Structure formats: C-alpha cells, structure tokens
Structure 1
Amino acid sequence: MEKIAVIGGGAAGYFLAANLGKEIGKHTVIFEQSLLPLQKVRISGGGRCNVTHACFDPLDLVEYYPRGKKELLSVFYQFQPGDTMAWFEERKVELKIEDDNRIFPVSNSSLSIIDCLLKEVEKNKVKVNFSDGVKSIRKIEKGFELETSSGTYQFETVVVTTGSTPKFWKNLKSLGHKIISPVPSLFTFNCKDPRIEGLMGISFENAEIKMKSEKLENDGPLLITHWGFSGPAILRSSAWGAIALNEKGYKFDIQINFIQQTKEDVVDLLHNKKFDDPKKSIYKYNPFDFPKRFWISILQYCKISEQLVFADLSKKQIDLIAKELTEAEYAINGKSTFKDEFVTAGGVDLKEVNFQTMESKLIPNLFFAGEVLNIDAITGGFNFQACWSEAYIISNKLKDIY
C-alpha cells in the first residue's frame, strides 16, 4: 500500500505537493485527468495569474467569501496572503501589488507561478500521473482504494483537490459526505435594454448595484458589454447572490447608481446648470465624468429634444435624468460565464471538515482543499488564496503523520 494520493493537479494539489519535502514527496502521487496541470492558474487574470490579494488581516480577509467565512478564519490565521507572497518570493518569483490590491507576478505571466510550482513538486520527487483521472474511491480497512484510468491503487491517505467536479462529488457522496448542490458563483448579467444598446466598452469607475428582492448591495467598477453588464461590481453581486439568483432562473431586476451621487445631488447640479450654462446645448455638453455616448443615450431614453439648452430643462425632465443616473432599474434575463474566473458555490458540506487540519470529520486520513469544498470568493485572487492556505495546512498535517 502506497502512502499519499492527491486527486487533482490544480492550484491546491500542486501547492500541497510543493510543501511536502522530499521524504514525504517521494511517497506521494498526483492523479490528474488532463494532459497538463494547473490549467486554471494558466488562464487566471487574463494569463497573468492573480496570485492573491493584499489583505493581511484574517478578520478582514474572510469578508470576501460569501461561503466559508466562518471556517476560513482559523485557516487564514495559519497561512494568509503575506505568507503566500513570502513563499513565492523565497523561490525567486517576484510579486507586485497593483492599485486595486490584486497581486500578480512582476513578469505579468502565469508561467512564472506554474514553473515555480512544477520545479518544487519535481524537487520533492512527487510522482505525477497525467491523463489518469480517478474514477472511483472506496474506503478499505487500512486506507483507500482508487480506480483510475491506468488501474487500481491503494493508499493510506487521500487528499481531494479536484475543484468543482460533479463526477467526483458523487464519489464523495458514496463515502457518506453531504454535497451542497453546485451553482455558478462568478458570472456576468445578460440585459437587453435600449439605454445600453451599442454602448459596449463604456465603463463606470464606481457604480452601486442593488438587488432589492435579495437585499443585496455591491459597488465597484461597472462595464457595459454587448450582452449586458460586467465588471467587479457585477461579479461581486453574482457571488453574494449565487444561490438566490439560481433559484430565480437568473431573471431579476437590479437598480444601478452609475455615478455614486444621490438623486438629489444630480437634481441640484442640473438646476445649477440652468443658471450657470443656460445657453449650452444639453446634447453637446455632458456635465458628468462618464463617456458622452452614455449621456446621449440617457437623454434620448428620457425623450429630451436635441434642440434644448440647459435653460429649457423642466423640473420633470431634470428629475427623470437624475433618476436614470442614480436609481435606474434594469431587467436581467440570464447570465454569462466570466471567462477568467469560473467558480461555483457548492461542494463538500463545511460542517463535515475539521478546518484546523482540513481533514474529514467522517473519514480519517481523507483531506480536502480548494473548490471541492463549499467555499467561494469574489474575484481578486481570493479563491487562489483559499487553495494555497488549505493546501499548506494539509502539508503540515501530513508531515506530522509521516
């Protein structure tokens, strides 16, 4: 019987193997169903790899996780973003903190992260079986029996780092674990509306999104796309509302404040324009800090004549424009996958895992890390950080065992 099987060659699986050391590493096998490892790391951040986020207090860090907040607190007290940065930099991978606190390799290439992990895993003499997915897992007297594409193996310890894989969740269910049904977590909103038609590419620096039916509010950059809305504000809303929006079939209404001002502020501003710039054309002069195309679209939607100057604006027209900029209602009909960050809510029930060690409470020597668990975060490097932290904790536990 062999010692350790790691099922899944993604971020969590490789980071675990990279931290085992040679003595334990040479008794470890990674089973990866694809031809290449670390595929999600490769495409993350548009190919740059958003390694983690510059949030170094665990109490603040857990607030970015719609699911897993309570459980991850003890995890992040053991290994947090500062530790991740130190780990990679000790291995000659320079990292940088960008203005929005996302952390990337200085090279701006995910290959820097991949090459580092591959090198460490090789140094630890860990065996990697590519194109060798695990079809089933069975508990036996002194460990586990795995049936893979290449044959049947027996291991004392199994670490599951498969990501959000419905097929393997069935195997875990057969072992007795409860699986929370998966739903998409990070996605963009589909919206067909004349106010945003033909305006793809226009962005707003800090918009406010409200979903009144779910009492959800988020803010941040917003982008108009050819299918509707995207950007951090939307992705955050999709993460926090993942389960409720799935139950609605992704048909719901949102309220958008494009300019982070109150309706009253906008009314006052436009009233002042009537006196300060009475003869200026409303269509030619945009008093707000967003592209003119959007301003014109809103004026057309409000049925404001192109011939009007600011002095001509009625109280009703001013009120209508102010409402469209600060309290606009948009009907969402469907979602689209956010290409860089496909994440799901759902997975192994967190009540069944000991987060001091990441070991199953039901089955000794069975461990979990990464998206196989019912944990997910907003975009910004947080999902990777959970993988790094959980995997590091397991590596320490395995060093204690072996």
Structure 2
Amino acid sequence: MQDENSADDDEESSSLIREPSKLERLESDLTRARAFIRNLVLKFTQTLPVNNEENDYVPQGDVYSNASEFHKSSLMMEKMFKIFVYKEGELPMFHGGPCKNIYTTEGRFIQQMEIDTKFRTYDPDEAHVYFLPFSVAKMVQYLYVLNSHDGNAIKQVVADYVTVIANKHQYWNRSLGADHFMLSCHDWGPMASSFVPDLYKNAIRVLCNANTSEGFDPTKDASLPEINLITGELNDVIGGPPPSDRSILAFFAGRLHGQIRSILLEYWQNKDEDLQVYKTLPKGVSYNELMKKSKYCLCPSGFEVASPRVVEAIYFECVPVLISIDYIPPFSDVLNWDSFAVQVQVRDIPNLKKILMDIPQDRYLRMQKRLKHVQRHFILNTPPKRYDVFHMILHSVWLRRLNVQITDQ
C-alpha cells in the first residue's frame, strides 16, 4: 500500500512535468518529417495525400538526384508545411508585384501567397516559416531614381519593415530571421537583403540572382528560376519540334550585357552557320522560332548570373547550355541538371562548337527527351498544380527549413 508521503511525491512529480510549447511540438513534427524522408519512419505512409486524376505524377528517372526522396519530401510538405505571411506593408511595394515580363516569377509568387489556402496559415504559432511579402521590383520602380546608383531609399524601407515586424511579433527575434524568407527576381534582391545583417546572414533568400560570389549560400538560400512571360501567360511558349526537325546546332540572341556575352559574341557572332549567335536578330527573324529550330540554346549570364533563356530553352525543348560563373541553377537540391543541360566554362567558349559536336547523338536525344520530363517543374499554373514552379519554390524553402532548429528563448 502506498503511504501518504509517497502519494504526495508522485503528485508533486506529476505537476512538474511541463507541457511542450507550441514551438517544441512544431519542431518535433519537423524532426519526424526529416526521419520520414530519410526512410527512418514509415508510419506516415498511410496518411500521405493520395494521387488523383490531376496529380498522378510520380517523380522518377535521371532528371532527379534522388527521385524517391524528392517524392516523399514533396508529399510530406503538402501534408504539413505552413507559411505565415506578414500582414504589415501596403501596396504597391508589399503584397503584390509585376506579373509579366522579366519579373514574372517574383510577382506571381507573391500574389499566389496572398490568396493561397493550402499552405498559408493565419495562425503564426502553427507556421514553420514566415514570409516577408515585399517586392524588390516594385521598390525599384517607385523608390529608385534612374541612373542615380542610390539605393538608400530601398535600404530604409527594408530595414524599417524588419524593424516593424521584429517589434510587433516575437518570431523574428526568436530565430534572428532563420525561419523567415524573402523572394526576389530583381538584380537588386541580394543588395536589398544586405541592408539587414540578419536577413542577409540567417534568412532564406529565394533569389534569381543566385550568385555565390555575391554572398548566395546554397545551404540556406534558394535559387529562383527567372521566367520572362511578356504577356504574363504561357500562350505558345511550351513545346517544340522533335530533334529531327532541329537543323541549327546552337543559338543565342541578346544584347551586349556583361563580360561573358562579350566573349561569346567576339568568338561566334557571324562566324559559323551552325552556331547562330546574334546581338540583334535580323529583321523578320523570330526569336522563338530559332529556339525551336535549335538543338542547343546558349544561356550566357549577363551582368548578373541568372538568365530567362534557361527556362525558355526548357519550355521550347532546346537543350540549355549554361555559360556562367558562380551560378547555382534552380532546384539543384533535387534536379540533376547534368542529365538535361550542358554546363560550359567561360574559358571554353572558343571551343564551344567542338564541345557540342562531340556530344554523342544518343546522349543529346536523352537530354532532349528529359526536357519534356522536367518542364512541369518550371511551369506557372493558375491555380498551382503539384510539382509546378510554385510548389518547387516552396519545396526549396521547405528543405532549408528542415535544416534549421528553432528553440524558445
């Protein structure tokens, strides 16, 4: 029989057992997610989203570094990932962005997060990450004086915004920004983030300008594909003829913009019919049609490392040839770029034709076929569909959040 003192001790011990905090429960869920993705936990398999008619695609094949892991990670993300979008900030520089032309990706993502009902939560305590909904493209449009090279106004807005959310909410200070993310396709995205040290060092920066020489850190930052939709729609920009109807070895057209393009034009402009390299297209010649007639599409960096030609080449099923320095291609965590693209060093531009001619025909055919496979990951759907570019961007953020452990202060 238990004596009175023993019963009192048990009651006291029971009262000392602390309930886990909301953050601790959230982190525990993420720990189980990490284990599941790594094949250590199997009990979640019965509760994963089931495929339906619209979402019956299962990643497989050489276009992925690890197709099975990517598949399980994506489904787990759909099951549990929650994003809180800060409400502070007003249009036009917050909560919206350009939805056509060179900054299509930036604007479409921001606007989709505004209306999302699947991943967005209005309870910040259940969020895994916190989105800073400012548009660098809009800041440049409204705050930058053309040719002034003065970014102080943008600096002040970004710094003030982080100060506002840090003073009003507990979440930024709790993690020093490590579970927060921003997104920008403007060249000034990295610069805008550099105005707040914790934003630059700790937060997840989703950037088209994924330049490691300018501070891009692929272990915490994510590379964003640059998609240039002139009308904002995908009309006539997906698909192309079979390899047998592609008579041009390689093609590029673009203005003189940075050192790499200068070298490319110096060596190949008007030098060879097989490599059609133009600064300005001849009158009446269609850029899109030349991409469709080419086996390889050259994607040299401009002053910044990103180029919309990478996604254009994927859309038109023209094997992209990446010519860049310090560039991390989009979704490199899960996509095996060497399986569907060619990467050429700048020093090898003089040998470009030989490099491409030396690629065996069967290898080229495999790469070209894989472009059809990988297209879905770069397409902007309205509304979004599983594995499209919106979900791929979120998955990049999800993977980086899995690498972070946040604790109560």
Q: TM-score, normalised by structure 1?
A: 0.29
Larger Rg belongs to: 1
Where is the strand percentage greater, Structure 1 or Structure 2?
A: 1
Q: TM-score, normalised by structure 2?
A: 0.29
Greater RCO structure (CA 8 Å; 6+ sep): 1
Where is the helix percentage greater, Structure 1 or Structure 2?
A: 2
